[in-house]
Structure 1
Amino acid sequence: MKLFSENYPDNQRLCQLLIQGLSKRAFITLIASCKVFYDGRATSRLGMGDRTVLIKADGAFIIHQDRNLEPVNWQPAKTKLAVELKNGLVYLKGMRRNPSETLEVEIHRGYQISYYRGEDSQDLELAGYEADMGDMIWQRPELVEPGFRATSREYHTPQGYIDILGKDREGNLTILELKSRKAGVQAVKQLRRYLDCFTDHKGHVRGVLVAPSATDDALEMLENQGMEFKSMEAPRELGNQKKVTLKDYFG
């Protein structure tokens, strides 16, 4: 059976169903009246309330209230999960060793439980991010300006990684800071920090902020500090270009 669902199971039955779902490495959805306890990098307690509990096949353990986008408690993939029935209540516990932490749900009443074995091996394709701008400039450096040559990507400095380092047609070292959305003063400050890493460079070093647009404050700061702005949109086509996934952006 690919999908199973049951409404208002008693706690003994609920415990059995949770064990079944975990043994099948299924995606489990549980709606229940419960308390939540966390102990690890901090300590927290959530009193009685109706919550939605999600357990994914990879071990991710997530607890939602009926408000807010973010979960109220969660543990990532590879969490070790255990279930037991004690004194008439169901205890669902997630444990991790590194860091050492425990997330426990004390279930008083289950309203609905379902689990299914999904088939989904696809990665989400993304476009319109700084990495796409970097790809585009690396392949077509003339988009920045005629004669520009890109020489390094993610160039390491004590202040972080420069998106693209290159040289203009005059041979001047040129630092590009890429933003896929409207850039503000923080982007300008970051570019300034990169330029300061090259104070010992003998030749002229240019700093160019590349973004679709920039705030007035950012443009004024660029001008005052002798840096430049280049308006450029990030590519948004997925089509035949290299597949980009969430892992590429968030590790």
Structure 2
Amino acid sequence: MRVVIARCSVDYGGRLTAHLPMATRLLMVKADGSVLVHSDGGSYKPLNWMTPPCSLVELDPTDDERTEGVDKVWFVQHAKSEDNLRVRLYEVLHDTSHDLGIDPGLRKDGVEAQLQELLAQHITTLGDGYTLIRREYMTAIGPVDIMCRNADGATVAVEIKRRGDIDGVEQLTRYLELLNRDPVLAPVEGVFAAQLIKPQARTLAQDRGIRCVTLDYDALRGIDDADSRLF
């Protein structure tokens, strides 16, 4: 990655046009060819950018640009469109390159797969006497996250989400309609489990006889005991 801090102006041309007047900005040129122009505000979003496939060439300024004080020009051309980026550098304050190597990618904590695994390990979170049948119980319309039995021996289908919304309730409803056609499994109850369940989803689930359970990720991991809290 090349990181440049410079006083510059930027013009975007092609299907649309945009102009950034001269100011001190951060320019980033990534190994995939992308070029990003950042200010010191605006959080993570760049002011302007060019995504790959594109190419960057450094040009000498025109006579008019040189008269204005331009030292060098970056011209970035997209390979599959007419879009281009022209960065006029008036003064380079910092210019360095670093090989960051291969990034292993973001590993999210508390994703649905982890919640499913933890809930399967601590299935009695759903209630005393619950026992696990299996995770990823396959049906003709997709896998049910967890199939288990309650203390009375009835089959229970569990749909797990990080954030529970109406779509998740509808998904579980389809599973229940299919599973209850199987005389070996029926009657099958439904549990909608999530770290956060939206009020509309809770109302719809309750209207359809589906029980809602709010999951405490830290408690499932054993690093927070909800019963020991003062508040």
TM-score (ref. length: structure 1) = 0.61
Note the C-alpha offset of 1:107: 0.6
Q: Which amino acid aligns with 2:165?
A: V
Alignment: residue pair count: 200
2:88 paired residue number? 107
Cα distance change of structure 1 residues 222 and 128 upon mapping to structure 2, 3 Å threshold:
same
Cα distance change of structure 1 residues 80 and 152 upon mapping to structure 2, 3 Å threshold:
farther
Note the C-alpha offset of 1:104: 0.5
Flag the structure with more relative contact order, 1 or 2, with Cα contacts below 8 A and sequence separation at least 6: 1
Helix, strand or coil at the partner of 1:193? helix
Helix, strand or coil at the partner of 2:93? strand
Note the C-alpha offset of 1:103: 3.7
- 1:237 and 1:60 mapped to 2: Cα distance? 41
Cα distance change of structure 1 residues 64 and 206 upon mapping to structure 2, 3 Å threshold:
farther
Q: Which amino acid aligns with 1:214?
A: I
- 2:102 and 2:18 mapped to 1: Cα distance? 36
Note the C-alpha offset of 1:194: 0.9
- Unaligned segments of structure 2, at least 5 residues: 222-231
- Unaligned segments of structure 1, at least 5 residues: 1-25, 239-251
Cα distance change of structure 1 residues 225 and 127 upon mapping to structure 2, 3 Å threshold:
same
Tell me if structure 2 keeps the 8 A contact 1:133–1:235: no
Cα distance change of structure 1 residues 60 and 167 upon mapping to structure 2, 3 Å threshold:
same
Tell me if structure 1 keeps the 8 A contact 2:112–2:160: no
Calculate the aligned-residue CA RMSD, in Å: 3.7
Helix, strand or coil at the partner of 1:43? coil
Note the C-alpha offset of 1:80: 2.8
Question: Over alpha carbons, which structure has the higher Rg?
Answer: 2
Tell me if structure 1 keeps the 8 A contact 2:133–2:147: yes
- 1:27 and 1:116 mapped to 2: Cα distance? 4
- 1:86 and 1:148 mapped to 2: Cα distance? 70
Tell me if structure 1 keeps the 8 A contact 2:54–2:78: yes
1:190 paired residue number? 167
Q: For 1:91-102, what aligned pairs fall within 5 Å after superposition?
A: 91-97=73-79, 100=81, 102=83
Q: Which amino acid aligns with 1:45?
A: A
TM-score (ref. length: structure 2) = 0.65
TM-superposition CA deviations, 1:8-43 (whole Å, max 9, x none): xxxxxxxxxxxxxxxxxx42223222123053xx52
Tell me if structure 2 keeps the 8 A contact 1:195–1:205: no
Cα distance change of structure 1 residues 235 and 74 upon mapping to structure 2, 3 Å threshold:
farther
Tell me if structure 2 keeps the 8 A contact 1:141–1:149: no
